[in-house]
């Protein structure tokens, strides 16, 4: 049986970092060096290797991801059975969700990274890359969209979050759990992945969405100032509990929602916003009556990306609400 064709694109991150003269580690390794450092990797698939960037993940921009997406699509058009992107873990969950909004192919797109650089004891990059190739070559990974593979766990882009700053088991999918695992080099899924409707790749992505975390006794004038200067075309609030805000912030959001889309999510890290539990001023019933949308199961960071993609596609409020219903649902 012929081997599967897998394309690996490297963006940088800890997995690519080695010691620098200035102290600490910086991105130096490209896709070929990464692949050659993993024993047995070449035997699993025919590999096509491309170094796309050498960036810390905090410096990745939307244009980098769109370039990455274009490269991945071309690789599939050329016959790749799966595509893997390696990058830093700081923004890995956001990159995965961003690409999932646009990835239309049956072939899996797998994102992965490492929590420890290659020169550290117990470096995890090689094992993560080996597991990612196993996932990308598996028939049961077909039509599951964008997946994130870390620590032998397979996570859906919509649910996964980085939940620890430094441990190798830093990624989890709160409430939902991993979609599957790599065990004894075999890929096993626990449940089907329900794919959501992808958005069109935009010709322009200038519209900006402001994300603010709501905190005890904070000052809503910061948001008022941003809105006054038209610094954003959409707003996402990481709200209290199941999607609540103070009365003072509520008043600002109500005015804002008259002209731009506003989404309120939960800042808790797990769980959905509620729809019809609390009736006080600034709670979900009041917010929805005033045109404010609820993020449901989406975390604030991913709601920001969904809203931005919707604005780039010129979606109106009702279309955005429908997208939230599709991407923010529990299934």
- Round to whole Å and give the CA distance between 183 and 27: 30
142-155 tens-digit pLDDT: 999 999 999 999 99
Count of Cβ atoms closer than 10 Å to residue 70 Cβ: 11
- Round to whole Å and give the CA distance between 18 and 202: 36
Q: Let me know if the fold of 4-189 is the same as that of 209-327.
A: yes
Cβ(36)–Cβ(112) under 8 Å?
Answer: no
pTM confidence score:
0.97
Cβ(104)–Cβ(76) under 8 Å?
Answer: no
74-125 tens-digit pLDDT: 999 999 999 999 999 999 999 999 999 999 999 999 999 999 999 999 999 9
Question: Could you confirm whether 51 is annotated as catalytic?
Answer: no
- Round to whole Å and give the CA distance between 138 and 61: 30
Buried b (16+ CB within 10 A) or exposed e, 173-192: beebebbbbbeeeebebeee
Between β-strands 293-294 and 262-266, what pairing exists: parallel, antiparallel or unpaired?
parallel
Cβ(112)–Cβ(86) under 8 Å?
Answer: yes
263-318 tens-digit pLDDT: 999 999 999 999 999 999 999 999 999 999 999 999 999 999 999 999 999 999 99
Architecture field, domain 209-327: 3-Layer(aba) Sandwich (3.40)
Of the residues 14, 89, 137, 273, only one is catalytic, namely: 14
What are the start-end ranges of the H helices in the chain? Answer: 31-36, 62-77, 92-100, 125-137, 221-228, 247-256, 284-289, 300-312, 317-327
**Residue appearing with tokens 């070449």:** 42
Domain range summary for the chain, segments of one domain joined by +: 4-189, 209-327
Count of Cβ atoms closer than 10 Å to residue 31 Cβ: 22
- Round to whole Å and give the CA distance between 211 and 236: 5
2-50 tens-digit pLDDT: 899 999 999 999 999 999 877 899 999 999 999 999 999 999 999 999 9
257-276 tens-digit pLDDT: 999 999 999 999 999 999 99
Architecture field, domain 4-189: 3-Layer(aba) Sandwich (3.40)
Structure tokens at 69: 């997406």
- Round to whole Å and give the CA distance between 46 and 278: 56
């Amino acid at each position: 049986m012929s081997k599967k064709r897998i394309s690996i694109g490297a963006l940088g991150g800890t997995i690519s970092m080695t010691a620098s003269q200035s102290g600490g580690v910086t991105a130096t390794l490209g896709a070929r060096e990464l692949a050659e450092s993993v024993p047995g990797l070449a035997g699993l698939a025919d590999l096509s290797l491309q170094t796309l960037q050498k960036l810390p993940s905090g410096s990745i921009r939307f244009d980098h991801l769109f370039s990455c997406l274009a490269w991945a699509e071309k690789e599939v058009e050329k016959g790749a059975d799966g595509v893997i992107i390696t990058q830093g873990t700081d923004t890995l969950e956001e990159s995965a969700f961003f690409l999932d909004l646009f990835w239309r192919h049956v072939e899996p797109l797998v994102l992965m990274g490492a929590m420890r650089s290659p020169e550290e004891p117990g470096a995890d990059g090689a094992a993560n890359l080996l597991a990612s190739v196993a996932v990308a070559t598996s028939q049961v990974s077909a039509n599951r969209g964008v997946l994130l593979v870390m620590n032998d766990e397979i996570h859906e882009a919509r649910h996964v979050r980085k939940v620890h700053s430094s441990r190798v088991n830093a990624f989890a999918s709160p409430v939902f759990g991993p979609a599957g695992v790599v065990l004894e080099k075999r890929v096993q899924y626990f449940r089907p992945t329900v794919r959501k409707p992808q958005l069109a790749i935009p010709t322009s992505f200038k519209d900006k969405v402001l994300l603010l975390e709501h905190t005890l006794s904070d000052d809503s004038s910061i948001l008022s100032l941003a809105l006054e200067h038209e610094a954003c075309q959409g707003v996402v609030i990481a709200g209290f509990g199941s999607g609540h805000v103070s009365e003072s912030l509520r008043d600002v959001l109500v005015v804002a929602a008259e002209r731009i889309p506003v989404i309120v999510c939960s800042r808790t890290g797990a769980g959905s916003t509620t729809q019809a539990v609390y009736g006080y001023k600034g709670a979900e019933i009041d917010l929805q009556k005033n045109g404010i949308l609820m993020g449901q199961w989406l975390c604030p960071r991913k709601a920001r990306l969904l809203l931005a993609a919707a604005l780039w596609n010129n979606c109106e409020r009702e279309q955005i609400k429908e997208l939230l219903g599709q991407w923010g649902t529990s299934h």
